[in-house]
Structure 1
């Protein structure tokens, strides 16, 4: 009889602990999401942003025990933007975030305003507003001199930021971005940011067009992905990853 009572007591205690965890765990997760922290491996969160500013959804894969997802010493953070038909989910699904985390980089992908889970924002209607937007993203996410990866439509954000804040970046990776014709050759020549111009050889329209302007960047190198179209990172992900990692590894 005493043994049976002991077992019953243990079962009741276990049930009580399970019930308490059920009540407390969802609330803890909500608190961590609101704070804009990485709340789980392969997890997602929203930045807090400034008062009155809409939140920005971002994805980040845990890189192990490093606190706050900080990069290994000597390796820059990497910020991924996206094209018009894509979101931050693209870089997670492609394995890019996990690959870079495994190489010791802190890699973050955001949903631009009006895409994915980020609400629209009137403040990004102008080039100055888009520069200010990326200013805030870097500040809120604690990204210090990151490498900025910018495919296609996101060139509307990345190019004015590059020209105004190039010294804030450790590197720039334009992937057939739009908007390159909006700036003069002399404006590009003033930028000293190391750049990897990357596009697919089957993207004969936007890839080649962007190259005509971006080639004026004095610190650039070129990588053309063979057999790939406009979204070369989807067509040939291994070749894309190899070119990106090669560029990241040679940055000081």
Structure 2
């Protein structure tokens, strides 16, 4: 009889433990609630809502170590990375760019532009003014003050108009064969005082050199050509791309 009671007690205890694990497992899988900033995490993937009813924007962030609030190291600007038409914020995570920048003391954030990746479309970005306002909201919501803006290919449609009217809001600009450079005049570019690194692959026979012809009018620019790389030079030669990007960041004051 005592043996039977012992077995029954063990069975009940096992059933209770199974129930507790069952209840806790979904919560563990869900992780942080949607909309949570999560900046203290070493590698956070979260959403941030835009003001005035704008759709949320999906972003990935890697903070520079266990500093309070994920703040960047003194003197090292935040870095905001946009993406090309065939890519998303996940590209910069997969390449190790976010982790590399965080290791250098930068707060690194990559976003999915509206209609790409996990960010829903937004009608407001159909116009140039809307795209400028969109980046302004992103910087404000993320608490990024004068970041370095990295803009490959299609994202030039967002970054270039922002640069021309809000260049003083940026510590630096890194266009990677961006689209839309012909939409602006040499005089417009000459008025921009933002330090710029013009990057492209030497096998990019179209957009890279075409963008250079316009962007060379920026007064504070330098050029880095990635050898053996095509249009998406950061994919073809990530180490060379990272070296050029870090070299530029280290020279910024």
Worse-matched range after superposition: 198-207 or 152-161: 198-207
Q: Distance in 1 between matches of 2:200 and 2:120?
A: 29
Structure 1 position 190, deviation (Å): 0.4
Q: Which residue is equivalent to 1:35?
A: 36
Give the TM-score taking structure 1 as reference length: 0.90
Structure 1 position 64, deviation (Å): 2.0
* Alignment check: 8 A CA contact 2:155 2:178 kept: yes
* Alignment check: 8 A CA contact 1:58 1:88 kept: yes
Q: Distance in 2 between matches of 1:62 and 1:111?
A: 18
Q: Distance in 2 between matches of 1:110 and 1:233?
A: 17
Structure 1 position 24, deviation (Å): 5.0
Q: Does 1:203 align with 2:204?
A: yes
Q: Which residue is equivalent to 2:236?
A: 235
Q: Which residue is equivalent to 1:95?
A: 96
Structure 1 position 52, deviation (Å): 1.3
Worse-matched range after superposition: 147-156 or 33-42: 33-42
Unaligned runs of 5+ in 2: none
Q: Distance in 2 between matches of 1:129 and 1:44?
A: 25
Worse-matched range after superposition: 241-250 or 62-71: 62-71
Name the larger-Rg structure: 2
SS at match of 2:60: strand
SS at match of 1:148: strand
- Please report the RMSD computed on the Cα atoms of aligned residues, expressed in angstroms: 2.3
Q: Which residue is equivalent to 1:218?
A: 219
Q: Which residue is equivalent to 2:45?
A: 44
Distance 1:23 1:109, change over 3 A: closer
The total of aligned residue pairs comes to 247
Matches within 5 A, 1:46-65: 46-65=47-66
SS at match of 1:34: coil
Worse-matched range after superposition: 128-137 or 16-25: 16-25
* Alignment check: 8 A CA contact 2:164 2:189 kept: yes
Q: Does 1:139 align with 2:129?
A: no
* Alignment check: 8 A CA contact 1:147 1:169 kept: yes
* Alignment check: 8 A CA contact 1:38 1:45 kept: no
* Alignment check: 8 A CA contact 2:156 2:175 kept: yes
Q: Distance in 2 between matches of 1:170 and 1:53?
A: 26
* Alignment check: 8 A CA contact 2:56 2:119 kept: yes
Matches within 5 A, 1:119-138: 119-138=120-139
* Alignment check: 8 A CA contact 2:40 2:69 kept: no
* Alignment check: 8 A CA contact 1:175 1:197 kept: yes
* Alignment check: 8 A CA contact 2:42 2:66 kept: no
Distance 1:72 1:12, change over 3 A: farther
* Alignment check: 8 A CA contact 2:48 2:57 kept: yes
Q: Distance in 1 between matches of 2:14 and 2:87?
A: 50
